[in-house]
Chains A and B, each alone.
Chain A
Amino acid sequence: MSIDGDRSRRAVLKAAVALGGASALSACLDRTDDDPVPTGDPAAKPPRQHAWREYVRHDDHGNSRLPAHQVLLYLDFDVGGPPTDADRDALAASLAALDRAYAWRHEGLLHSIAYSPAYFDRFDTPLPEGIDLPEPTALSPFESPTFDRQDAVLHLASDRADAVLEADRALRGEREAANGVSVPSLTEVATVDSRRTGFVGAGLPAANQDAAGIPDSKPVPEASPLFMGFEAGFRGNQATEDYVTVDTGPFAGGTTKVIANLRQRLADWYDEQSHEERVMEMFSPGHAENGLVEGVGDNLGSSSGIDRFVDSVVDDAREHGRVGHAQKAARANRDADGNVRLLRRHFESTDDIGSDQRVASLHFPSLQRRISAFEAVRRAMNGTDLTEATPAIRQRVNNGILEYIFVRRRGNFLVPPRRHRVLPTPRPE
């Protein structure tokens, strides 16, 4: 698909919209790679569905570069009670076909399926004691999100837009095969309740900034992997895959996954604030004072260096009348030994769930051993204690990035280990 001038761009646009998703647009525009997509060996997949780190690109500092193109398919299974063998066979066939169609690599396809508390409610047996999977809940004193309570979510990710789109379309029954392998449609057993798409990585946010929520000044830097203009997910500020993995019981090798969707409103972020002020609100006033962040923050290397500014957050609130997003969140994102508790894998989108409008938004999957760890970090981000320390910090203003993000959706899921990925019971053997 080549792009020459406005006419073919319009044609691409139409084609992309026909594929059924605003962000498919970026996927199509980006599709210039004619190399074949590597096919896969089902026997060569890692036992953890969330094993990405070894299979994605890394930057010069060893930070993960998440797959550029991603799709989330929210599924409701047609069966009301416990799934039957036929249901399991059908889903297993779809997933096994993906395994054959794509290598488990960033230029192939990474995929994982995760199940909600509502899914497990169909069984009489509860989940094992050690699995912390509550229903989603509001986590700030000012949000009222819609909860994603679908049965499951299937996450597809690749640096190859064509791979993600083919897999997505085959799974939804819009084509027979993906990467030359016949893929039975998920629609045999499930309904796709919601399809969400997105992208991440330098260049893509800049190319997709023609969306509501981002000012007309086209402020998103080419080098930024995200709309807000900074790198994120530094290796030193992320939990390891080992750390977030459930280590005992039938789901050993699995993890829990929270996926939120946030709308972003970046007019004031970019038009009313200097780079220094944005650094203050994204990282900490100390980062701004010491000039620690150049441009999008590549100079930070493999860590945002936030830990040295965590204890000063109340003093910063009083002295600067602002606090940083990262310094607030980090307060709850370390265990007693100083290990990071969450593994965040967020990516951008222009999806506006429920409409066809292009609106800047963020899909925020986070992996952690227990959902409660995510909830604690998210609550720390509210900075309610800081609003009490000084009136200069308000509920959403001068309080990290809360002024610019609006939570619309949240769902909690269990990512089983690969061996139990097909419609597991609460106590799989």
Chain B
Amino acid sequence: MAEEHEHEHEPLPEGVPPVSRRGILFNLGLGMNVIAASLIGIPIIGYVLSAVFKEKAQQAWIPLGRIDQFPEGQTRLATYTNPFRRPWDGFVADIPCWVRHIENDNFQIFAINCAHLGCPVRWFPQSGLFMCPCHGGVYYEDGSRASGPPPRGLYEYEYRIRNGHLEVRGGETPNLSESV
């Protein structure tokens, strides 16, 4: 009744939609809830997406062992610890890779993951081949593709040598979108 009373005193100009207290309250409530929902939602989205924003910058140099653990001319399996290891990760944090010591300070460090679909490739020193048990990708000793479905050679990690220790720049499982 109060609204009708007001209308009597101040008739609305043409073309202006009627404004009621209920209407304002409804829109105000809606707007306040949108703001409140954003206050709750944005941090939640950030929380879930935080895994994406952790960028390569965080990739650390991770020790693989002394150089003399990798005899010249041989390719050996090594594991490095995931630099983002959490206390409950257990052995899943031990990431394997193949270390090929060519000569002197010359190494190649291959990701264990087949470039096709990520299965673990196995090294066969007798024939000098890496073979994948999933879809039959085969690579030569230098990591180049020999046969099978992989679209490229094995992924190589960057490495460096510090005080007689081999260090690998790991921290990210390579896939076709971006090589290490």
The answer to whether A and B come from one shared complex is: no
Q: B residues engaging A (CB < 8 A)? A: none
Q: A residues engaging B (CB < 8 A)? A: none
